[in-house]
Amino acid sequence: MRLFALLCAFLALPAFAAELEGVKLDDSVRAGAQELRLNGLALRTRLFFKVYVAGLYLPQKTQSAQAALEMPGPKRITLVMLREVGRTAFSEALLESFAESNGDLGLKLHKPKLDALLETLYGIGDAKKGMRIAFDFVTILTVDDSSRGKPIPGDDFSAALLKIWIGEGSVADNVKKALLGAP
């Protein structure tokens, strides 16, 4: 009977797929009606500082950035902060990374949607250590399981935002391989 109770308790626990820097992320999450699988997990550093652990969730696993960007349906990037980053620094870093991974044309094309996202991010306040920030594509920002701001529609904007982590640029150089589960 004890063995049965122990087994039931074990099965009731969430399934953690991976752990990095003490951060555990679930094997799968739901985005609307879609179940997404953890594709990869990465540590974002800047200089020698550990900034956050990122997890990429996709409808199906892939090691191809292009396949991930073109994959239909929802996707998610979850960031778990390893240090506090002020609201201005966080927003500016996101804007800088977006510009770096999408160029001036991408920045100009997506400016109204990017401004809306940055306004929401700025309104959240400082990104505190341990805070979980999830970008659901089509873009919905969730902080510590609470939706923030209004959804920002557009697969093109979602792909442009996802390029921060799996496109080209300094953030992607730091995390892309691990998020794509490449050996």
CA proximity to 156, closest of 139, 134, 171, 179: 139
pLDDT tops 90 at residue 164: yes
Q: Which tens digits make up the pLDDT trace of 50-61?
A: 999 999 999 999
Write the pLDDT tens digit of every residue in 1-27: 444 443 444 444 445 568 999 999 999
The total of structural domains in the chain comes to 1
Query: How confident is the model at residue 183, as a pLDDT?
Result: 59
Domain range for residue 135? 15-179
Instruction: Give a yes or no: residue 115 inside a domain.
Output: yes
Tell me the CATH number at 24.
Answer: 3.50.70.10
Task: Read off the tokens for 76.
Answer: 């998610």
Is residue 87's pLDDT more than 50?
A: yes
Please check whether residue 1 lies inside any domain of the structure.
no
pLDDT digit string, tens, across residues 117-140: 999 888 889 999 999 999 887 667
Residue 6, domain member (yes or no): no
DSSP notation for 8-70:
HHHHHS--EEEEETTEEEESEEEETTEEEEEEEEEEEEETTEEEEEEEEEESS--S-HHHHHH
**Residue 2 is assigned to a structural domain of this protein:** no
